[in-house]
């Protein structure tokens, strides 16, 4: 669900950047005025799709880092528990000898 939300944000971001980019190119770059309307629509749709994919991918990476961090903490807890048990045994065996 979060990935879809980020994808929608990316679509909005890509659309906004596409409009700004196309408007800027239309105003300040004379060769762009010669591009046909289908060419401009293609450039706009590329900006839309790119924004969607990039922000959805960022959300997936963020989620993977979060899950990885949780897994690491769980494994660290297990290691700490095993280390404490080992130390108790080592201390107990030293005390008896």
Tokens 């669900």 -> residue: 1
Mean pLDDT of 33-39: 84
Using the predicted structure, report yes or no on whether residue 83 has a pLDDT greater than 80.
no
Cα 95 to Cα 97: distance, rounded to the nearest angstrom = 6
Domain ranges of the chain: 2-96
Using the predicted structure, report yes or no on whether residue 97 has a pLDDT greater than 70.
no
Q: Reduced to 3 DSSP states, what percent helix, strand and coil does the chain have, rounded to the nearest 5?
A: 95, 0, 5
Using the predicted structure, report yes or no on whether residue 72 has a pLDDT greater than 80.
no
- What tokens were used for 69? 């961090």
Band the pLDDT of 9: cuts 50, 70, 90.
confident
Using the predicted structure, report yes or no on whether residue 35 has a pLDDT greater than 60.
yes
Band the pLDDT of 93: cuts 50, 70, 90.
low
Q: What is the pLDDT of residue 87?
A: 72
């Amino acid at each position: 669900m979060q990935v879809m939300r980020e994808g929608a944000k990316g679509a909005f971001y890509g659309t906004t950047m596409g409009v700004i980019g196309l408007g800027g190119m239309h105003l300040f770059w004379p060769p762009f005025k010669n591009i046909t309307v289908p060419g401009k629509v293609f450039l706009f749709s590329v900006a839309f799709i790119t924004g969607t994919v990039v922000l959805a991918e960022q959300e997936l990476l963020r989620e993977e880092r979060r899950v990885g961090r949780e897994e690491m903490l769980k494994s660290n807890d297990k290691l700490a528990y095993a280390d404490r048990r080992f130390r108790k045994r080592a201390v107990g065996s030293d005390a008896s000898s």
